[in-house]
Copies of this chain bind each other. A is one copy, B any other.
Amino acid sequence: MDLGMSDRVRPLVEQVRQMVMEEIAPLDLVYEAEVGRHPSGDRFQHTERQLEILSSLKASARARGLWNFWLTDSEKGFGLTTVEYAYLAEEMGKVGIAAEIFNCNAPDTGNMEVLERYGTEAQKARWLPDLLNGVTRSAYLMTEPDVASSDATQISLSAVRDGDAYVLNGEKYWASGAGDPRCALYIVMTCTDPQGEKHARHSMMLVPADADGIEVLRPMHVYHTDDAPHGHMHIRFTDVRVPAADVVLGEGRGFEVAQGRLGPGRIHHCMRAIGQAEYALELMCRRALTREAFGKPLAQLGANHDIIANARMEIEMARLLCLKTAWIMDTQGVRAAQPWISQIKVVAPIMALKVVDEAVQMHGASGISQDFPLAAMWTRLRTLRLADGPDAVHRRQVARAELRKYSNQAR
């Protein structure tokens, strides 16, 4: 069970770390400050400066060969193991726009994986090249406003067969990335057979973002921010026609696609969360050493030693669990990794939220403000306790896997 950084990935990690902290981080602040400054007043249009930042950084990353790391088991990519990629994800997670610079950002990586793994040649040909080149963006439309989507069997956006096509009606929300004007593709979980067997009711479809009948209603807010221009959009489908050829893997196999998609993506999310926790701990320590009160640096006051120590210990443990999960994914496959993925899905965001919140507290009022990246980290992390299944659902999965060990014996 080698959870260390391989010799192959170590230089990549070093390069990514350096580029993230030295080149991307400062421009990320500029990028953020530019939001809403488009002449049209439309927060979901990039300003010139934003586009320039993205294109120059991406060109720079690509020139150094730091691109599309996530293609873990493909010939086209680096062929990195999940463990190796995990170390990269940690670094890319530290700064807002960093993952996109390396074309490794969610939800595009997961979407590209879906195309790679389950797409027909025609589907791949149409969508993959532009996504792999970072020219277009994509969104994944799963969650719906009217049902508790934590129980995915309840998903209800209706797709009714009509000749060679399906007709879609209903609403989706929290479509992350759908606010970006470059977003060209929606991968949509639809309900094709409401009376069917629980896990055969749904189908996954590829829908162009500009299809007739699609209406972007509004951006959802995450603790006050619309996360523009990325955005988490609320979208209405009215008689949207989707050719049958654009169903992924076949009618009724939506769940299979969803499962295959979510495994690695959750590991990446968790490692990015750990990257943020590490960065928050660094900021916390620097603050503790330089800020003074009552005649001493904060580091010497009250429980601050304990707070720092606890952060260090909790980060270490969560990272090791993520790495072990990645290793199980690599060596035993996604099915065996499932209860482990549930474990880290619960553990990593809660840990990171706690560390970031302690860092906020150590920074005083500055911590909650725009002067430090901590508040934005916190709200971003907070979504992870809900996205891809809330904690409670994952805890239940872990408990069931545990109890199964003994209930089988009992029979």
Any B CB within 8 A of the CB of A133: no
A95 to B294, CA, bound (A): 37
Cross-interface CB contact of A365 among B3, B220, B301, B376, cutoff 8 Å = B220
A375-391: which have CB < 8 Å to B? 375-376, 378-379, 382-383, 385-387, 390-391
Closest-CB distance, A11 to chain B (whole angstroms): 17
Do A286 and B143 touch across chains, with their CB atoms under 8 A apart? Answer: no
* Contact indicator B291/A148 (Cβ below 8 Å): yes
What is the number of residues of chain A that contact chain B, defined by CB distance less than 8 Å? 88
Identify which of A306, A308, A376 gathers the most chain B CB atoms within 10 Å of its CB: A306
Q: Which residues of B contact A318 (CB under 8 A)?
A: 317
Other than A148-B293, A224-B225, A302-B306, give 20 A-B pairs with Cβ distance below 8 A.
A1-B2, A41-B41, A149-B365, A151-B293, A221-B375, A222-B375, A223-B224, A223-B368, A224-B224, A285-B402, A285-B406, A286-B406, A288-B403, A302-B396, A306-B392, A308-B399, A309-B394, A313-B321, A313-B346, A317-B321
Distance in Å from the Cβ of A103 to the closest Cβ of chain B? Answer: 26
- Chain A, range 13-49, C-beta contacts under 8 Å to B: 41
Residues in B with CB closer than 8 Å to A148 are 291-293, 298, 364
> With an 8 A cutoff between CB atoms, is A303 at the interface?
yes
- A267: chain B residues within 8 A (beta carbon): none
A259: Cβ under 8 A from any B Cβ = no
Instruction: Looking at the assembled complex, report how far the CB atom of A201 sits from the nearest CB atom of chain B, in whole angstroms.
Output: 15
Interface membership of chain A positions 341-370, coded 1 if the CB is closer than 8 angstroms to chain B and 0 otherwise = 001001100000000000011001111111
Q: Is A238 an interface residue (CB 8 A)?
A: no
Q: Taking the nearest CB of chain B, how far is it from the CB of A146, in angstroms?
A: 10
Contact with B along A314-340 (1 / 0, CB 8 A): 001110110010000000000000000
Considering only residues 289-307 of chain A, those with a C-beta below 8 Å from chain B are 289-294, 298-299, 301-306
Interface residues of A (CB under 8 A from B): 1-4, 41, 143, 145, 148-151, 154, 173-174, 220-225, 281-282, 285-286, 288-294, 298-299, 301-306, 308-310, 312-313, 316-318, 320-321, 324, 343, 346-347, 360-361, 364-370, 375-376, 378-379, 382-383, 385-387, 390-392, 394-403, 405-407, 410
Inter-chain contacts of A320 with B (CB < 8 A): 3, 317, 320-321, 324
A127 to B286, CA, bound (A): 44
Chain B residue contacts of A343, Cβ below 8 A: 309, 312-313, 316
Q: How far is the CA of A360 from the CA of B397 in the complex (A)?
A: 21
CA separation between A312 and B379, bound complex, in Å? 26
Complex Cα distance A320/B221, Å? 35
By the criterion CB–CB under 8 Å, are B365 and A224 in contact?
A: no
- Contact B361–A391 (Cβ < 8 Å): yes
Partner of A282 from B293, B383, B400, B406 at Cβ < 8 Å? B406
Contact partner of A3 (CB less than 8 A), chosen from B1, B41, B308, is B1
Given A312-B343, A313-B346, do A289 and B403 touch, yes or no (CB 8 Å)? yes
- Out of B290, B379, B399, which one reaches A223, CB within 8 Å? B379
A145–B363 alpha-carbon span in the complex (Å): 11
CB <8 Å contact, A399 and B305: yes
Q: Are A410 and B3 in contact (CB under 8 A)?
A: no
